Amino acid sequence: MDLKKHIRSIKDYPKKGILFRDITTLIKHPDAFNFTVDKIVELSKGMKFDKISAIESRGFVFASAVSYLTNKPLVLLRKKNKLPADRHSVDFQLEYGSATIEVHKDSISKNENILVIDDLIATGGTAEAAAKLIEMSGGSVAGFVFVINLFDLPGKKLLEKKSYLVKCLIDFPGH
């Protein structure tokens, strides 16, 4: 299945100069969504992981389905002030600003291997922050799986340079 035909591209969103790759057009097609989730499960088979983490918010869509199919616990990495209990926080830079993500301190135990799932890798700031949260919690990153890699942006290479395993279903230019 050609997943690229299910991704909508929107110019100048969320700000001028950004070409936004929209997965809502993929998830509204059951065959495309099911294929995507099955491919993520397939890509993760070679990784040893105890839990799955999802990056807010579009990562939740894919990671929850993968969590169900693999029977692995799901850890939510949320935007600032969305989690009610004690949490770790990491600030990071986006292509179009700055942000903070957090995880509950009791979500990840020491020495657990965590698979990180998100819809897209661009500059790598969010993914790198996710790795820091996992490591602050005592866990380690088993790998990253992204639906989309924006190949002309440095995110995938940044993670690989830090020795993280990174797998992606499709490649798109980011600009």
Distance of alpha carbon 150 from alpha carbon 120, whole angstroms: 7
Task: Report the amino acid identity of residue 120.
Answer: L
For residue 13, give its domain range.
3-172
Has residue 46 got a pLDDT over 90?
A: no
User: What is the DSSP annotation of 21-79?
Assistant: EETHHHHTSHHHHHHHHHHHHHHHTTS--SEEEEETTHHHHHHHHHHHHHT--EEEEEE
How far is 139 from 70, CA to CA, in rounded Å?
19
Whether the pLDDT of residue 97 is over 80: the answer is: no
Of the listed ranges 18-22, 66-70, 169-173, the one predicted with least confidence: 18-22
Share of the chain above pLDDT 70, in %: 99
**Residue 87: strand pairing partners:** 104
Q: What is the pTM of this model?
A: 0.95
| pLDDT tens column, 127-144 | 999 999 999 999 999 999
Burial bucket for residue 55 (CB in 10 Å: 0-12, 13-18, 19+): buried
DSSP letter for 112, please.
-
pLDDT of residue 19: 87
Q: What confidence score (pLDDT) does residue 174 get?
A: 81
Residues 6+ apart with CB under 8 A from 139: 51, 108, 109, 110, 111, 112, 113, 114
Q: Give me the number of domains the chain comprises.
A: 1
Is the pLDDT at 151 greater than 90, yes or no? yes
Instruction: Output the pLDDT for position 68.
Output: 98
115 pLDDT more than 80: yes
Look at residue 155 and tell me whether its pLDDT is greater than 90.
yes
Find the CATH number of the domain harbouring 43: 3.40.50.2020
